[in-house]
Amino acid sequence: MPAPRFTRRAALTAGTAWALTACSAQEAEKDDAAGGSPSASGPSASESGSVDTSPASPAESAPSSSRSNLDHASPDSLSVLVNKHYPLSPLDWAPNDLVDFGGVQLRAEVAQAAEQMFSAAAQQGLALTMLSGFRSYDYQIQTYDNWVNTYGQEQADTASARPGYSEHQTGLAFDIGSAGGCNLQPCFAETPEAQWTAENCHKFGFVLRFPYWQHETTGYYFESWHFRYIGREQAQKYKDSAAENLESFWGFEAAADYQN
Distance in Å, CB of 60 to Zn ion, minimum: 26
**DSSP structural state of residue 170:** G
CA neighbor of 177 nearest in space, from 104, 245, 109, 110 = 104
Q: What one-letter code names the amino acid at 255?
A: A
User: Taking the complex as a whole, how short is the minimal distance between the CB of residue 143 and Zn ion, in angstroms?
Assistant: 12
- Using the contact rule CB under 5 A, the part of the chain among 190-198, 223-231, 235-243, 247-255 near Zn ion is 223-231
Q: Which is nearer to Zn ion, 141 or 208 (CB)?
A: 208
Nearer to Zn ion, 145 or 175 (CB): 175
Is residue 27 at the binding interface for Zn ion, with CB under 5 A as the rule? no
Q: What is d(CA 141, CA 12) in angstroms, rounded to the nearest whole number?
A: 9
Q: What angle do CA 70, 72, 13 make, to 5 degrees?
A: 170
Type of residue at 54: S
The window from 15-23, 104-112, 236-244, 248-256 that contacts Zn ion (CB under 5 A) reads: 15-23
Closest CA to 141 of 175, 91, 104, 106: 91
Shortest CB 159 distance to Zn ion, Å: 11
Q: What is the DSSP letter of 160?
A: B
The window from 5-13, 17-25, 134-142, 248-256 that contacts Zn ion (CB under 5 A) reads 17-25
What would the 3-class secondary structure string for 49-98 be?
A: CCCCCCCCCHHHCCCCCCCCCCCCCCCCCCCCCCCCCCCCCCCCCCCCCE
State yes or no: residue 135 binds Zn ion (CB under 5 A).
no
Q: Which is nearer to Zn ion, 5 or 255 (CB)?
A: 255
| 175 sits near Zn ion (criterion: CB under 5 A) | yes
**Residue 180: other Cβ atoms inside 10 A:** 16
Question: Whose Cβ is closer to Zn ion: residue 45's or residue 208's?
Answer: 208
Q: According to CB under 5 A, which one of 23, 104, 184, 230 is a site residue for Zn ion?
A: 23
Please list the residues that pair with 227 across neighbouring strands: 174, 208
Size of the site for Zn ion (CB under 5 A): 3
Count of other CB atoms within 10 angstroms of residue 201: 23
CB-nearer residue toward Zn ion: 85 or 226: 226
Find out whether 29 and 214 touch, Cβ atoms under 8 Å.
Answer: no
Selected range binding Zn ion among 61-69, 192-200, 224-232, 233-241, rule: CB under 5 A: 224-232
User: Does the protein bind Zn ion through residue 113 (CB under 5 A)?
Assistant: no
Listed residue (150, 98, 132, 187) closest to 22, CA to CA: 132
Interatomic CA distance for residues 224 and 159, integer angstroms: 14
Q: Which is nearer to Zn ion, 23 or 128 (CB)?
A: 23
Which one of the spans 106-114, 137-145, 168-176, 236-244 is the region binding Zn ion (CB under 5 A)?
168-176
> To the nearest whole angstrom, how small is the minimum distance from the Cβ of residue 134 to Zn ion?
11
Counting contacts by CB under 5 A, is residue 226 touching Zn ion? yes
Q: Which chain residues interact with Zn ion by CB under 5 A?
A: 23, 175, 226
